[in-house]
Structures are given as C-alpha cells and as structure tokens.
Amino acid sequence: MARLRSRAQLRMSALFLAATLAVPACGGGGSKEAKDAKPSNTVLQNKGSDTMVNVAQVWAEEYRKVAPNVEVEVSGGGSGVGIAALLKGAVDLANASRDIKPSEAEQASKNTGKSPVGFNVGADALAVYVHKDNPMSEITLVQLTDLYAEGGKVTRWSELGITIPGVKDDTIVRVSRQSSSGTYEFFREHALGNRDFRLGSRDLNGSKEVVELVGTTPTAIGYSGMGYATADVKMLKVAPKAGAPAVAPTIAAVHDKSYPLARSLHVYTLGQPEGAVKAYIDWILSPAGQKVVEDAGYVPVAAAGNATGALATEAPAPGAPPAPAAPQPKP
C-alpha cells in the first residue's frame, strides 16, 4: 500500500512541479517583452488610504496614457499604512484621507532627514449609511456618539424611535473600520469628538466592505466615503446637534462646509517632490486629474492653492491658502 501511495504522491508532485515551472516561464516572457519595448520605465510606488484607492488606480491608468513610460503601482491598506511606508522610504507617494500627525512627521525627519509635504488633491464627505429598508432619514452627531463611542448607551433601533420593517431583533449592528484607516480616525475625531469607539463593532478592512455589509444587513449602520454608495444602502442626512438642520452629503454641501463630516484627501511625499513624482502630482491637480476625482463620486479641489503643508493639524477645506513653504502647483 505504501508503495501505491507514494506513486500517487509522486504523480501529484510532478503535476504541481510542471504547473509551478510553467507559470513563471510565461510571466517572465511577458515582462521581458515589456522591458524591451520601453527601456526607460519609471515606476512610482503609491500606497495608503482605502477611501482613495479607487481614485488612485484610475489616476494611474489615465496617467499611463499621458506619460506611457511612467508606471504607478497603487495599493491600499489604510492611510496609516501608507504614511508608515512613506516614513520608511518604501513608497514615493502616500495617500491619506486624514492629515499627517506631528508625531509621524517627526518620525519621518528622524528616519530620513526629510519632512513630508502634503498636497490637497480632493475632498470627500464621510457618509453615514443604513440599509435601504431603514426608515431613518437623518441623524445627529450626538446620536452617533451614543451609538459608536465608548460609554454610549444606545444598542437598539427602538431606542432611537426607529422600527425596521420585518425585523424581530433590532439590535444595532455597528459597522466600523480597522484602526489603520484614515476614515476610522476622521470619524473618531469629528463625529465622536476624539472619544474612543465602543468595542464590539465589526471592524472591516475596506470602504467598500462597509457599504456591502450594511447593504445586506437591515439592522446595520456604518460610515464610509460618499463615493461608495450603492442601491442597497441609504445615506443619512447629518445634523451637528438636535434641532439644527440636517445636511445631505453632496458636492455642494462639502464646498460650502455645511456638511459636518467633510474632509480633505491628501497625497504626501517625502521632501519636495522632484522629477516624475512632481510631474505626476501636477497632473493629478490638473483638470484631467481632478475630473477623475469627480467621476469617482468625490469633490474636486478648487482651482487655486492646493498644498496643505507638511504639518497642518486641522483639515483644511478645499481651496485653503497654501502653507508658506509648500510648492505652488503649476496650473
């Protein structure tokens, strides 16, 4: 029996060996051809915010048409992951849906001797999502705090005066983000007043996942970028406090700053950008790059003054005056 078994194993491993040998052989051939076609290929590494990863990917694809010899490799992971990679010098550009922290900037100058420079490349409204069958239409920041923050007491929809049709157990399913996410930190700072999240929320690893889970769960509530809305979810209007007018997350409301959970989207570089990195950022800030932002459901920046400066502690609104040391992008 032992002999039979080993023969079967031998057959299997031969099969796997053949497969593993075949795969890199194909891949190797392809990349070699590509290398021959474009000898001076520049590769830029771009990592960070999950909120911005879709936009960043379209930027990379569109930019390939403008500058065929520049390849931008985009990955997500969260604003914190992108900034951490930038501080180590592992990436050229970090996307962040929050401002860089003073401690992070300090770490960067300690590691590399350069300080990070930020560019305001767009704006986003952080939408509060519920299932489409949920009759709720607006929520206050106070209610959000009762729901999400540590020490908050609200656990059932009935406590907010909401009855969801066809649901027996109306325990609220809180959907949140992993702690490396810029969305997580922005929500904690601006919706919860920097109080900690109550434990027990489902902490998902992506903006899209939050909307998907809310879309399949009638008793769920979650927060994510407004660009991720689908037909299964509803965006709530948000009021700063009870009695104040509730505002829907729209482009106009982000521009006039009436929506309470609006934020800027940034791209950070280590030191002043040069060469291909500078050209890429200039293109992002050009009308073509900003059209991508708009098409993805986010808010493009106003025409002038796009740099947010290295150490900005407050999220500047789109069109905020540039920090003194920051570069003026070419129009």
Partner 1 sequence: MSSVPSPIRIARAERSRAAVLAEKALEALIRLSGVSAILFVAAIFFFVLKEAAPVLFSEGFSLGQFLFSTEWYPTSANNVRYGTFALTVGTLSVTALAMLIAVPFGLGAAIYLSEFCKPRLRETLKVVIELLSAIPSVVWGFVGLTVMSKLIVNATGAPVGVNVLNGGIILALMSVPVIVSIGEDALKAVPDSFREAGVALGATRWQLVYRVLLPAARNGLLAAVLLGVGRAVGETMAVLMATGHAVHIPGSLLDSVRTLTANIAAELGEAPSGSDHYRVLFLTGTLLFLITLVVNLTADFVVRGIRRK
Closest distance to partner 1 from the beta carbon of 107 (Å): 6
Cβ closer to partner 1: 46 or 306? 46
Q: Select 94 or 279, whichever has its Cβ closest to partner 1.
A: 94
| Least CB distance to partner 1 at residue 162 (A) | 15
| Residue placing its CB nearer to partner 1 in the complex, 199 or 231 | 199
Q: Quick check: helix, strand or coil at residue 173?
A: strand
Buried b / exposed e over 64-89, threshold 16 CB at 10 Å, is eeeeeebbbebbbbbbbbbbbbbbee
Residues that bind partner 1 (CB under 8 A): 1-2, 4-5, 8-9, 12, 77-78, 80-81, 84, 87-88, 104, 107, 168-169, 171, 173, 178-180, 185, 188-189, 194, 196, 199-205, 213, 216-220
Nearer of residues 220 and 307 to partner 1, judged by Cβ = 220
- CB of residue 222 to partner 1, shortest distance in Å: 12
Toward partner 1, which CB reaches closer, 204 or 261? 204
The one-letter code for the residue type at 37 is A
| Phi, psi (degrees; rounded to nearest 5) at 172 | -75, 125
Separation of alpha carbons 76 and 189, rounded Å? 22
- What is the 8-class DSSP label of residue 171? B
Question: Smallest distance, Å, CB 29 to partner 1?
Answer: 25
Q: Which stretches within the chain are classed as H helix?
A: 2-37, 53-66, 79-87, 102-112, 141-148, 182-190, 207-216, 251-255, 275-285, 287-295
CB of 1 to partner 1, least distance (A): 7
CB of 253 to partner 1, least distance (A): 27
Residue with tokens 């073509």: 288
C-alpha–C-alpha distance, residues 53 and 218, integer Å: 27
DSSP-assigned letter for residue 34:
H
Q: End-to-end distance of the chain based on CA atoms, in angstroms?
A: 76
The rounded distance, in Å, linking the Cα atoms of 87 and 91 is 9
Q: Which lies closer to partner 1 via its Cβ, residue 87 or residue 312?
A: 87
